[in-house]
Amino acid sequence: MRVGIVGIGWWSDVLAEVIGRSDKLELRAGYSRSAEKTAKFAETFGCQAMDSYEDMLKLGDLDAVILTTPNSAHRPGAEAAAAAGKHVFVEKPISNTIADGRAMIAACEKAGVVLAVGHSYRRHGALRHLRRMIDSGELGRVSLVEGMFSNDNGLKLKPGAWRTDPAEIPGGCLMQIGIHQIDNLLYLLGDATELTAYVDRLETEPDIEDVTTVLMRFESGAIGYAASDYISPRRFELTIHGTKGNAFFDMDNDGLRLQRTGEGKPSPVEYPPNDHLLAELEDFADAAKDGRKPEVDGTDALKPLAVVLGAVTSSREGRSLPLSEILGET
């Protein structure tokens, strides 16, 4: 699959490096509104520098676009690509609103192209193994899952960048990093039915939320808790509580551990490692080639977005609310 990347920044460089490791994708072109950034990106990764997004979409040998643009640009970027017959991969979140997300889904369905959304952490080897443990019954009935994602990037933010604009990232760090753990909980537990949340700003200079908590009830009856923090050192941790054992995943320190019922402490668990970003992009390429649904399509991506938007509403209005209210379902 020959792809073009739109929106040049640190994350586009990460994905370009991943593409360079793949036998299924080739980086064909790059574009940013900054000609300087575009030229440097093209030189670094050996692709064509484009003068405009419109020119990129006119390339006859381009199969797909990867959008690493600001959230509000996802919809127009996806609609333009779909109209040009190009498959679309968009970084999370799918958009800033449910309406824009649904419009992107409709545009890609009408054009017969694949729409994939970059919720990558669910593909991490530990998350895959946790899902297998749940599905096999090794943990028993799962009652509670806790997810935490923090870093102190919020302390470094200055007004002016799109990631400091409350209109671009409603929910602040919950939309930026907490949504990863929200998607992980949805991956592990299935659909959520209702939520309650606290979303606040304590320290960041820009006016965005920097500490958030979301409590969700799932269709299975399990409870899930996802927290994000933009003003404390990095943590990425998941804990699963079940009737037969507790599983702990600490991405940066202790790895995956299991404490079975009756055991005094957890023991390390081995799992097959993988490159979750490579797996994500190659799934996109395979879905486009085979004409099938990618693991996370537009409809799937509306669910974590709805949790984030619902959390903002819950915190502002001081109430619990059903996810169907945010998704517009009856």
- State the CATH number of the domain containing residue 32: 3.40.50.720
Nearest-5° Cα angle at 40, 35 to 45: 125
Judgement on whether residues 261 and 182 belong to the same structural domain of the protein: yes
For position 322, what pLDDT does the model report?
A: 97
CA separation for the pair 21, 144 (Å, rounded): 37
CA separation for the pair 69, 295 (Å, rounded): 22
CB-facing half-sphere around the CA of 208: CA atoms within 13 A: 31
Total of domains in the chain: 2
Judgement on whether residues 115 and 188 belong to the same structural domain of the protein: no
Can you count the helices (H) and strands (E) in the chain? 11, 15
CA separation for the pair 132, 188 (Å, rounded): 9
Residue among 84, 86, 120 at smallest CA distance from 251: 120
For position 164, what pLDDT does the model report?
A: 83
Question: In the beta sheet, which residues pair with residue 148?
Answer: 227, 237
Is-contact 143 223, C-beta < 8 A?
yes
Is-contact 91 271, C-beta < 8 A?
no
How many C-beta atoms surround the C-beta of residue 218 within 10 A?
19
CA separation for the pair 316, 309 (Å, rounded): 11
Judgement on whether residues 234 and 263 belong to the same structural domain of the protein: yes
Residue among 57, 49, 51, 50 at smallest CA distance from 76: 57
Question: Identity (one letter) of the amino acid at 20?
Answer: G
What are the backbone angles phi and psi of residue 34, rounded to the nearest 5°?
Answer: -90, 115
Residue with tokens 């808790």: 225
Judgement on whether residues 209 and 76 belong to the same structural domain of the protein: no
Sign, Cα dihedral of 307, 287, 115, 229: positive
Judgement on whether residues 76 and 207 belong to the same structural domain of the protein: no
Judgement on whether residues 86 and 130 belong to the same structural domain of the protein: no
Judgement on whether residues 109 and 18 belong to the same structural domain of the protein: yes
For position 224, what pLDDT does the model report?
A: 98
Sheet with 245-250: strands ordered across: 267-268, 255-260, 245-250, 235-242, 142-150, 223-229, 211-218, 192-200, 321-322
Residues 6+ apart with CB under 8 A from 105: 115, 297, 298, 299, 302
Is-contact 79 105, C-beta < 8 A?
no
- H or E element at residue 214: strand 211-218
CA separation for the pair 303, 326 (Å, rounded): 9
- For 34, the domain range is 2-120+278-297
Judgement on whether residues 195 and 110 belong to the same structural domain of the protein: no
For position 313, what pLDDT does the model report?
A: 96
pTM for this predicted structure: 0.96
- H or E element at residue 147: strand 142-150
CATH number at residue 321: 3.30.360.10
CA separation for the pair 231, 227 (Å, rounded): 13
Judgement on whether residues 29 and 74 belong to the same structural domain of the protein: yes
- Coil, strand, or helix at residue 249? strand
Positions in the chain short of pLDDT 50? 330
Is-contact 23 15, C-beta < 8 A?
no
Is-contact 158 205, C-beta < 8 A?
yes
CA separation for the pair 184, 320 (Å, rounded): 21
Judgement on whether residues 113 and 69 belong to the same structural domain of the protein: yes
Question: Identity (one letter) of the amino acid at 40?
Answer: K
Judgement on whether residues 85 and 99 belong to the same structural domain of the protein: yes
For position 241, what pLDDT does the model report?
A: 98
Judgement on whether residues 211 and 112 belong to the same structural domain of the protein: no
For position 330, what pLDDT does the model report?
A: 43
